[in-house]
Amino acid sequence: MPYDSAKDPWHQRALSPGGLGRAGALVTPNDAADLPRYARLRVFVPATLASAEIRILPVDAADDAPLTLPLPPGQVSVLEFLVRRVLATGSTAGLVIHRVD
């Protein structure tokens, strides 16, 4: 799916994607569907996991060009990407993922 400005809360605004979130929601990874709003992600990795990865499509990435990012167990990470999709395939099960808009 191509970029959709209607889903981008920062489109043509002076707000920074690095700023504080004003809303958020739990994210369920999905290989086919983009997030309802592009967002940064806050990801918690339970300490019970020996290792973890999340597979994402940043806003400007093609559907066939995902990034796989390692995540530290037992910690919260806020990804430094504006994300349009979180893929189930390649993401570690058991992650707690929130959209930060």
Q: Which of 15, 80, 1, 7 is nearest to 37 (CA)?
A: 7
Condensed to tens digits (0 to 9), the pLDDT of residues 4-38 reads: 888 877 677 655 656 667 788 999 999 999 999 99
The answer to whether the beta carbons of residues 45 and 75 sit under 8 Å apart is: yes
2.20.25, 2.30.29, 1.10.520, 2.60.120: CATH of 23-100 = 2.60.120
Distance of CA 54 to the CA centre of its chain: 8
Instruction: Report DSSP letters for 24-81, one per residue.
Output: EEE----SS---SS-BEEEEE--TT-S-EEEEEEETTS-TT--EEEEE-TTSEEE-SS
User: 29-76 pLDDT, tens per residue?
Assistant: 999 999 999 999 999 999 999 999 999 999 999 999 999 999 999 999
Q: Where are the domains of the chain?
A: 23-100
For 75-97, the pLDDT digits (tens) are 999 999 999 999 999 999 999 99
